[in-house]
Structure 1
Amino acid sequence: MSNAYRLLPMHPLWQIKQVINIGGMRRVDRCCYFGSRSSPDLWCTFMSLVLWISIHVCGIEGLLAYMDDNFAFDPEPELHFYEPYNTFFPHKQVAVLDLWDYLNIPHTCAKQLYDRTLTIIGFSVDSDLMVISLPTESTDLLVSAIRDFVNNASGRRFWSAHDEGLGFMANRPVAPDAVEDNIFWYEALTVLSALRWSASLPERFSRVAIFTDNLNTVQMFDSFRSREPYTFILLAAIEILIEHHIDLCVWHIPGEQNIIADALSRQLLSVIAQYAPWLHISSFEPPHVTSGLPI
């Protein structure tokens, strides 16, 4: 099992997007070490290319990757000498290290592991018994964490319309002329409205989850990327997140499970009464987004 050492610098134009706050000071994370929404994609994309070279150019069969880790089985019992570390490793492991040296990928000796039983991402993998299990220490920590979670369950709230007993309806504002997909615009505007409402509550939330059955909206808020005029909605949401220190997750819910919200959007009171007679419905005014800020 081999591990690349994460010291590869990011492109200077990307580094400006990797400014992080550590100990009250802002620092540029030039190596993408601490991670971001894009870090896993970047590392997996790069290592996938290295993996392709390993398999199709160097002929290292059965090689797999997890982020920047490479791992494989090697049935050859004989160990091979790797001069830079002055030690012996399985043949495939030496081949991987030789390739990394050729590509100038940095690595450390402490990360080069091999055995019949290894701990991989927290799991004990036994190649003799063909068993994957949690080490005893990890099992004890997991049980302790579950017990703490159960014992403190009364202090947590689940963000649910059923728990709140609240529903909201509004007349649809006119979408901008540049909008090509009205459904996408209104779904994104609804997410912004829900975020603004949650930020206005007396009880402040540091984490907010919003469900929508529109995949474009989920993708926009997950990547924080969009094109005009949807950018205005995204910028308005970012202003709220920064001002109120909210961590937002927008998750997808299948349309067939989104009956109440769909009925609210169509003002189908009879359907709402059938599926959610407990729901208290109020009207609201959607934010008027014209320049990135809600009015």
Structure 2
Amino acid sequence: MGLVGWIANNKLDIDSNVYADDTFGAGLASESEYYSPYDEFFPAEQAQTLDLWDSICLNHEREKQLNGAILVVVGIEVDSDAMTFTMPESKRAELLAGVLDFCHVPPGGRRHPLKVFQRLGGWVNWSFNVYPLLKPALCHVYEKMKGKSNGDAAIFVNRGVVRDLEWFANHVKNSTGVHLLESLDWEPADADVVAFCDASLKGLGFYIPAADIAFQSLPPSSGPSDRIFYYEAFCVCWCLHQIAALVRDSGKIKVRKITIWTDSSNTYDIFNTLRAKPLYNEILKSAVDVLIANEFKLRVQLLPGKKNVVADALSRWRNDLALASHPNLEIYDSCVLPNIPLPPRDTLGAEEK
């Protein structure tokens, strides 16, 4: 079906998607075409797809040719009018039971074959269609599978795997199971809050230019003392926590979209993919907790270090330089950092910076 889908998209300009043996797409209700073998009208591109299948003698059955405003696609209910993806309650209950059973570790430990890890990973990955923010849940699962190919080889379930999957299960349990499709293509300048972050081995700093406020702190005492990337990522997460606190304390500020600028390409990457090595995964999970609790939409953007003058000065405790660039800045340095634990030691291994 993959080749047939490629022909449809690239040779016949039919906008369709293929997943395993399912073909699906979207079209306007006002655009339909008559398909004579079934003696009825179909959405235009569905009728064209059926014509393609006929031309290559690919058999199909009428009862499987579905269309409508609400359809189940790869097990998820897609509502094109409400613009939602919904996981049926039975599927959600089954997913939760499977995840919790997988990560239940009795005294003496527990091991699963690699193929069971892979199956669990695929199942949870499927759920990201509805829960896209929960991608950090598979960090330690992927780490345990890395470099292994024998499907029957037994792999221990460690504390990192359990912690990630229980975090995932807790969010799924407390969710509605509905993902509202919203525009992802908004400009950084359209955000309700725009902040600039930076970190050094001496400290963390960020500021919100429109509000003339800045925050700085010593590095987190619980973090590694020599990993600047950890501090850069931590600073973005701290900024998000602080914005949530400001919104909560004001009681009247409404914030939906947040743009945070960083000069760390690694930080930019992990926040835009929601995937990181175990050392940094707790930072992502903490940030996701804030996003979900406050219904924030976050964009982390990358800028050259030479343009991040104020945040850089704040992170190095050069407040004179920060004020020289932004004279009206009010700087707060008695800040409480979020409590972000390091991963369990049995999951760290040899980490790259």
TM-score normalised by L of structure 2 = 0.42
TM-score normalised by L of structure 1 = 0.48
Larger Rg: 1
